[in-house]
Amino acid sequence: MKALCWYGKADVRVENVPDPELINPRDAIIKITSTAICGSDLHLYGGFVPSLESGDILGHEFMGEVVELGSSVKNLSIGDRVVVPFPIACGNCFFCERKLFSLCENSNPNSSLAETMWGHSPAGIFGYSHLTGGYAGGQAEYARVPFADVGPMKVPDGMDDDDVLFLSDILPTGYMAAENCDIEPGDTVAVWGCGPVGLFAIKSAFLLGAERVIAIDRVPERLELAREWGAEALNYEEIDVPEALKDMTGGRGPDACIDAVGMEAHGHGLPGFYDRVKQAVMLETDRPIALRQAMMCCRNGGTVSVPGVYGGFLDKVPFGSVMNRAITIKTGQTHVHRYMRPLLERIEKGEIEPKAIITHRLRLDDAPDGYKIFREKEDECIKIVLKPGEA
């Protein structure tokens, strides 16, 4: 089958690889009809995530048709159309029982690697380096899905792939980020990053009752879409964001701040330069520019919600500000399984239209170009969806 494989920094290629096979009784094989490139895939593309091996298949946002089932999977049938959540969860452990699916204790066969790096291991993830298990990803024609009796969700007839694909990752991610803000009526929420996750966080914040959402980015078409969805947009290359946030909130600061940017934050001025230099000489693995701002700008006692992906260590984080002002930090990889059905309902009711963010639909063969376009934000790109079935 064809698959998008990683070979090095900014080197991804579509190669011919063996088809996946059933290994465990709870596996399923999915024939992939739609799959997307995620902002966090760009961290892999840029070589920021350790433990990638040459030839690894990327991709963790995918859906398709069940073509093979392990002997223990009773809730699915061959031919079912399913969306697959990106974290792999067993359903039986301490964390799965508490619906903390991205913390599953049983799905990462390389948990010792993750333990060395992070103290304990979270769940395995599709296509996201050997730290999270080295599972072959979904930017391919087929994928092996472990614990298929827990993860994949059946798609109702009459809904296109594009309507539901984002239930695999970014829509639940934006939603959980907003949910973590514990929004109360009258709240103002500030969102750093108007990429797909940030946009869904903005939408979700309104759905969860926020009165105002302030969106921060520098890419014009993304700020425009944020405005269309009801946010007040700030371009950080033109405006001093901390000052603006103070002005807009009567001096107090937003009630909650969402960092939907993560470790590859684009820095402006001296802080940006500082982080780039430190990263280049490997004294810092991640660039927390947006996070620092989110922490400092948040009102006393507010919440900083971090869906943005970080991998290693941060430098010069204003923890004094966090501690002395009782800031709550909520973060984590999304517990996708928990949100898929409730969000599907909202899509069916017309409260959200996920496909509005899709700007590019490409064949799998064009995926390498897709990565480049997505990273450089060329061609007014916001979200790219790949269609492996289409020649």
Provide the binding-site residues for another protein, judged by CB under 8 A: 1, 3, 5, 7, 13, 15, 17-21, 23-26, 51, 53-57, 72, 90-94, 97, 105-113, 124, 130, 133-136, 140, 144, 146-147
Q: Which is nearer to another protein, 109 or 272 (CB)?
A: 109
Cα–Cα distance, 33 to 254 (Å, whole number): 41
In the bound state with another protein, the residue whose beta carbon lies nearer, of 144 and 383, is 144
Cβ atoms within 10 Å of 252's Cβ, excluding its own? 13
CA distance 31 to 42: 24
Residues 6+ apart with CB under 8 A from 268: 236, 237, 289
Count of Cβ atoms closer than 10 Å to residue 318 Cβ: 16
Contact 37, 367 (CB under 8 A): yes
Of the pair 110, 235, the CB lying nearest another protein is at 110
Closer to another protein by CB, 55 or 209: give it. 55
CB 293 → another protein: shortest distance, Å?
A: 35
Closest distance of CB 357 from another protein, Å: 29
Please, which residue, 22 or 322, has the CB nearer to another protein? 22
User: In terms of C-beta density within 10 A (0-12 exposed, 13-18 middle, 19 or more buried), how is residue 243 classed?
Assistant: exposed
Closest by Cα among 292, 188, 300 to 242: 292
Which structure tokens are listed for 115?
A: 């333990």
CB of 54 to another protein, least distance (A): 6
User: Minimal distance in Å, beta carbon 334 to another protein?
Assistant: 20
Count of all residues that appear for the chain in the document: 391
**Rounded Cα distance, 160 and 219, in Å:** 29
Residue 23 Cβ vs another protein, minimum distance, rounded to whole Å:
6
62 vs 175, beta carbon nearer another protein: 62
How many Å apart are CA 169 and CA 334, to the nearest integer? 8
CB of 77 to another protein, least distance (A): 21
